[in-house]
Amino acid sequence: METIYLNPDNLTHWQQKAKPSIMALGFFDGIHIGHREVIQTALRKAKEENLLLTVMSFFPHPKTVLSNGKTKVDYLMPLPDKEKLFSELGVDIFYIVEFDREFASLSPEKFAAKYLLDLGVVHAVAGFDYTYGFRGEGHMERLKRDSGEILKVTKVNKVEWRGEKISSTSIREKLSKGNVEDLPAFLGRSYEVGCEWDGGALQIQPYYTMPAPGRYAVTLTGGCYSQDTDVVVTSEKKLMPLLRISELVKNSEKAVSVTWHRRISEVGKEPAAEQKWLHSSKLSFAWSES
């Protein structure tokens, strides 16, 4: 899979190199089951027409740009994780558009012309609530018209779980409440974050979201090693393992992934022995040296 970062300076270059494709459109944060339905629908169309499968996403999040940085977005995954999953899903080209105020000001018609038709898109696939163009005025019901009746358009209907819409927003809400055991039904997998060991705690890497404070059953993975254990997310959003992880850290150059399975208890409700450990910097230091 090829990843292409698009911006006003290089857009013409990539337009000239573009080949006909079926494109899946969306922000795709987390690549949940609803997103997969969009991508798999586009993949079926691409195979039927013997064309490339392309995906177009944006970065940074539009809310951050349009609020002048005042709105903080809790991303579910960084771009390298998206690249890995898109590759596994059969995507040929992943376009990442630099989202800025100039891009946000494009009319729906200009977006369709410059970022779809001029990039070789012959068929666009997106979710029922996908919007584009200035103030999000463009939507799936008008995309064919905005393209001058050139594009084929497929709208993917809402995907639900127990009557609840599967969305990146709903996943963030579940993380904010600590309901990590619900996430496989939304993501199609357990939620996983990248961390680094700082000698006393695991520090979450950028563009992941930490669940609510509490004690959780998780799997820690570093290099070829994995370990099922419990961790505590403190009120200060520190991630504290409750078992020795020195061997795992030593063999992973301190890069550790955390796969979340279920919350055992809320913060402040841990057994007394664990609360004592959490407030013992001496013991934490001993772990880092062991």
Give the structural domain span for 117: 2-157
Euclidean distance between CA atoms 208 and 233, whole angstroms: 14
Measure the CA–CA gap between 232 and 221, rounded to whole angstroms: 17
Confidence band for 253, pLDDT divided at 50, 70 and 90? low
Cα 158 → chain centroid: 19
Q: How far apart are the first and last CA of the chain?
A: 42
Same domain for 268 and 125: no
Query: Do residues 131 and 10 both lie within one domain?
Result: yes
Considering the domain architecture, whether residues 81 and 36 belong to the same structural domain is answered as yes
Domain identity same for 173 and 281? yes
149 shares a domain with 257? no
Residue range 236-250, pLDDT digits in tens: 888 988 777 766 766
Tell me if 86 sits within 8 A of 94, measured CB to CB.
yes
Q: Which of 157, 186, 212 is the last residue of a domain?
A: 157
Q: Cα separation of 266 and 270, whole Å? A: 7
Q: Are residues 15 and 81 in the same domain?
A: yes
Q: Which residues contact 68 (CB under 8 A, 6 or more apart)?
A: none
Residue ending a domain, among 117, 136, 157, is: 157
Quote the percentage of the chain above a pLDDT of 90: 72
pLDDT digits (tens, 9 = 90+) for 37-79: 999 999 999 999 999 999 999 999 888 888 887 788 899 999 9
103 φ, ψ (degrees, to nearest 5): -65, -40
Residue with tokens 């150059």: 253
